[in-house]
Amino acid sequence: MYKIEFDVDISPEGRFVRLLLPEEHETQPEDKFFAFRFVEYLLHDVYMSRLDQFDDETKGIVQTTTDFIGSISQEISEIVFENKLTEGQTSLMFDNIYNIEVETVMELDKFEHFILYEDKIFNIIDDDVKIHVKETNEIYSYDGKKEEWFLIEK
């Protein structure tokens, strides 16, 4: 789960004027996606909760703005995804014994096509991703054709 902590600065007139991020916050590409998606959510929420208070022109403007912000967040999402997938593929090139570590064998069944791990995305279907299971000290990989996990080594 992604989490951003922030404070809100309030003007003397009692209006929210800016977000204050902690000094230790390191800006991530996901921040932009989060910001646009959050604004899209807020606009949609206000729009739906006050629909009867808007005239037709205002409804059109809010809807167009919401759609535009949604398009921007989708573009950012695709860019962030591709960058993190490239980072995952790059890390596979190194001679690592394993790429991902989990506690139990049961966790393997929770994985689907893509795994976000340590700020990288791994494609378990198309790439040779090795997963270390701490509980058994075994390493597994996924066979996309058979759609099952198989033991590589103990």
The DSSP-derived string for the chain is: ------EEEE-TTS-EEEEE--TTPPP-HHHHHHHHHHHHHHHHHHHHHTGGGS-HHHHHHHHHHHHHHHHHHHHHHHHHHHHHHHHHHHHHTS--S-SEEES-GGGGGG--SEEEETTEEEETTTS---EEETTTTEEEEEETTTTEEEEEE-
Q: What is the pLDDT of residue 18?
A: 77
How many of the other CB atoms lie within 10 Å of CB of 109? 9
Q: What is the pLDDT of residue 138?
A: 92
Q: What is the pLDDT of residue 2?
A: 64
pLDDT per residue rounded down to tens, the chain (154 residues) = 567 777 878 888 888 777 777 888 787 777 877 888 888 888 888 888 988 898 999 989 988 999 999 899 899 889 989 999 999 999 888 868 889 999 998 888 888 889 988 889 999 888 889 999 999 999 999 888 888 888 887 7
Q: What is the pLDDT of residue 83?
A: 92
CB of 80 closer than 8 Å to CB of 33? yes
Phi-psi map region of 122: left, alpha, beta (phi>0 left; psi -120 to 50 alpha): beta
Integer-rounded Cα radius of gyration of the chain: 22
Q: What is the pLDDT of residue 102?
A: 92
The whole-model pTM stands at 0.71
Q: What is the pLDDT of residue 8?
A: 79
Q: What is the pLDDT of residues 6-39, one digit of tens each?
A: 787 888 888 877 777 788 878 777 787 788 888 8
